[in-house]
């Protein structure tokens, strides 16, 4: 349940407790090994309370992914693409670097990625709608372009996490920008 801000304080505390317990479990184990009972025990609620707010663990995970995605889209909503693609890429890496271990596991671990679609296409499309060059593309070309940008950026991020962030963030941003900027510019010519 995504909180709107007008809920009763008990509801807010319950939802926050569920999400906090879920994020802790995400940091400790793979998604397939998390149970509703274990989550409820950690959140100190009963299963009936959990099911009042969420149909499944997948629904809770999808909500967390949506919150991360919406928060990022809010940060980049003023950028115009493809002209400011470099800034959007930087914003993605800086945002992602601040999110913590649960975000990293949700974004990088295969078991979490398989439960709900990546929101990265929605994230990317948010800034492209004003671009005349983008709007002139066929639907196939738009999908291909969004797939390329999403795939390149997420692959770079996942590789950075996999290699335990040994490469400085600035270098990761610089290299990823080269890959996506040259690819997008070449495609749009």
Among 120, 94, 107, 118, which Cα is nearest to 26's? 107
Residue range 29-43: average pLDDT? 96
Q: Write down the H helix ranges in 30-126.
A: 36-43, 47-53, 57-76, 85-97, 101-108, 110-113, 120-125
- pLDDT of the residue at 116: 43
Q: Other CB atoms closer than 10 Å to residue 14's CB: what's the count?
A: 20
> Worst-scoring range by mean pLDDT, 15-29, 34-48, 68-82?
68-82
pLDDT at 1: 64
Give pLDDT, residue 132.
Answer: 86
In the prediction, which pLDDT does 122 show?
A: 53
Query: What is the number of H-type helices and E-type strands within the chain?
Result: 11, 0
- Provide the pLDDT for residue 169: 97
Residues sharing a CB contact under 8 Å with residue 146, sequence separation 6 or more, in sequence order: 121, 124, 125, 128
Contact 13, 1 (CB under 8 A): no
Would the pLDDT of 167 be above 80? yes
Between 128 and 41, the higher pLDDT residue: 41
Q: How much is the average pLDDT of 73-101?
A: 92
Average pLDDT, the chain: 88
| pLDDT value for 5 | 66
């Amino acid at each position: 349940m995504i909180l709107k801000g007008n809920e009763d304080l008990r509801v807010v505390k319950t939802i926050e407790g569920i999400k906090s317990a879920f994020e802790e479990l995400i940091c400790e184990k793979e998604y397939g090994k998390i149970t509703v009972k274990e989550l409820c025990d950690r959140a100190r609620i009963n299963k009936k309370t959990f099911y009042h707010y969420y149909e499944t663990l997948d629904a809770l995970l999808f909500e967390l992914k949506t919150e991360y995605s919406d928060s990022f889209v809010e940060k980049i909503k003023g950028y115009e693409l493809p002209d400011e693609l470099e800034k959007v890429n930087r914003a993605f890496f800086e945002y992602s670097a601040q999110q913590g271990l649960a975000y990293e596991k949700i974004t990088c671990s295969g078991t979490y990625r398989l439960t709900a679609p990546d929101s990265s296409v929605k994230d990317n499309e948010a800034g492209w709608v004003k671009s005349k060059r983008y709007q002139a593309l066929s639907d196939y070309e738009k999908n291909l372009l969004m797939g390329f940008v999403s795939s390149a950026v997420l692959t770079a991020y996942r590789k950075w996490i996999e290699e335990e962030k040994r490469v400085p963030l600035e270098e990761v941003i610089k290299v990823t920008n080269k890959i996506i900027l040259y690819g997008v510019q070449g495609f749009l010519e």
